[in-house]
């Protein structure tokens, strides 16, 4: 099974595409953002440490995320099913650390998929995103609204906006992406691993485009 890194700005659809591919082909989906949010929800030490960075739209320190990723990757499940890393690495030092980790656990990175989406659409996607407090289903106030405002169609739970999806924090997250994450494009391009995929389509059309580019 191939191992992937999904790269791209916040709102590019990395999480949605990871979930769809993992469901179809059985990969282990490792989202550092999801893991950090779960820690915040459970109010663990790690969650408390991460909260101020996440709420400000900044990156959590490398050592913290690297430890999460090493733990998540070093499993028999990953070795048999393959992985999709969603939201990691986000800096060149993280990418170098990932290379070392993969060597240590005897795994290989096969492809880095870069989802390309224009800035205006990213802002619209992120600021309109709403999530069910109970089941985690994701909606969008314009693109995929729930039948009843702020109520989940699937389980009746209440919908909320991620604290870092507010317009000011979104602007900061995009700035951080351009400054700290974009250099990874050249890093992986020079290794022949990068695959650019247009990410502006809606969910199902976008997944079809992804599969086509990956020859899946
Ligand atoms: P995401 O759900 O991928 O948009 O991540 C949400 C937030 O979690 C980011 O804005 C960061 O604060 C933090 N985070 C997630 N992944 C990383 C990472 N690889 N390095 C540092 N911080 C991260």
Q: Is 90 in the pocket of ligand 1 (CB under 6 A)?
A: yes
- Distance (Å, whole) CA 208 – CA 33: 25
Instruction: Tell me whether residue 156 is in a domain.
Output: no
Which atom of ligand 1 is least distant from the CA of 53?
A: 12
3-state secondary structure of 10: coil
| Ligand 1 centroid from CA 169, angstroms | 13
Q: Is 73 in the pocket of ligand 1 (CB under 6 A)?
A: no
Instruction: Tell me whether residue 174 is in a domain.
Output: no
DSSP 163: G
3-state secondary structure of 148: coil
pTM for the structure as a whole: 0.95
Q: What is the C-alpha radius of gyration for the chain, rounded to an integer number of angstroms?
A: 17
Instruction: Tell me whether residue 112 is in a domain.
Output: yes
The number of domains in the chain is: 1
Q: What is the pLDDT of residue 6?
A: 98
- From 37, 90, 97, 125, active-site residue: 90
Which atom of ligand 1 is least distant from the CA of 10?
A: 4
- Which residue, 129, 109, 112, is CA-closest to 183? 112
3-state secondary structure of 160: strand
Q: Is 11 in the pocket of ligand 1 (CB under 6 A)?
A: no
Tell the residue number behind the tokens 């992120």, with chain if given.
126
Structure tokens at 130: 């709403």
Instruction: Tell me whether residue 202 is in a domain.
Output: yes
- From 51, 111, 162, 171, active-site residue: 162
Q: Is 129 a catalytic residue?
A: yes
Q: What is the pLDDT of residue 1?
A: 84
In this structure, the residue with its CA closest to atom 2 of ligand 1 is 33
Q: Is 173 a catalytic residue?
A: yes
Which parts of the chain have pLDDT scores under 70?
A: none
User: In which domain, by residue range, is 78 found?
Assistant: 4-118+181-214
DSSP 178: I
| Ligand 1 centroid from CA 148, angstroms | 30
Q: Is 173 in the pocket of ligand 1 (CB under 6 A)?
A: yes
| ω into 204 cis (within 30 of 0) | no
- Distance (Å, whole) CA 51 – CA 57: 10
Instruction: Tell me whether residue 33 is in a domain.
Output: yes
- Distance (Å, whole) CA 29 – CA 20: 10
- Which residue, 54, 67, 45, is CA-closest to 165? 54
Instruction: Tell me whether residue 27 is in a domain.
Output: yes
Structure tokens at 212: 């086509």
Instruction: Tell me whether residue 162 is in a domain.
Output: no
The best mutation among 54, 91, 165 to test binding of ligand 1, ranked by most ligand atoms within 8 Å of the C-beta, falls on: 54
Instruction: Tell me whether residue 164 is in a domain.
Output: no
- Distance (Å, whole) CA 213 – CA 178: 24
CATH code: domain of residue 202:
3.40.50.300
DSSP 164: G
Q: What is the pLDDT of residue 23?
A: 97
3-state secondary structure of 83: strand
Tell the residue number behind the tokens 């390309």, with chain if given.
116
Structure tokens at 157: 């739970």
Q: What is the pLDDT of residue 75?
A: 95
């Amino acid at each position: 099974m191939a191992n992937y890194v999904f790269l791209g700005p916040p709102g590019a659809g990395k999480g949605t595409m990871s979930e769809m591919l993992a469901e179809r082909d059985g990969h282990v989906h490792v989202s550092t953002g999801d893991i950090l949010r779960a820690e915040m929800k459970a109010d663990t030490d790690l969650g408390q440490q991460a909260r101020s960075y996440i709420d400000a739209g900044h990156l959590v320190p490398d050592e913290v995320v690297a430890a999460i990723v090493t733990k998540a990757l070093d499993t028999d499940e990953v070795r048999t099913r393959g992985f999709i890393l969603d939201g990691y690495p986000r800096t060149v030092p993280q990418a170098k650390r990932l290379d070392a980790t993969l060597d240590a656990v005897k795994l290989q990175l096969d492809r880095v998929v870069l989802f390309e989406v224009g800035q205006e659409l990213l802002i619209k996607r992120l600021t309109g995103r709403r999530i069910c407090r109970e089941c985690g289903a994701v909606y969008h106030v314009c693109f995929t609204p729930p039948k009843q405002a702020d109520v989940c169609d699937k389980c009746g739970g209440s919908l909320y906006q991620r604290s870092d999806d507010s317009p000011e924090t979104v602007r900061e997250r995009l700035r951080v992406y351009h400054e700290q994450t974009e250099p990874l494009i050249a890093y992986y391009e020079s290794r022949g691993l990068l695959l650019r995929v247009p990410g502006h389509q809606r969910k199902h059309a976008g997944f079809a485009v992804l599969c086509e580019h990956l020859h899946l």
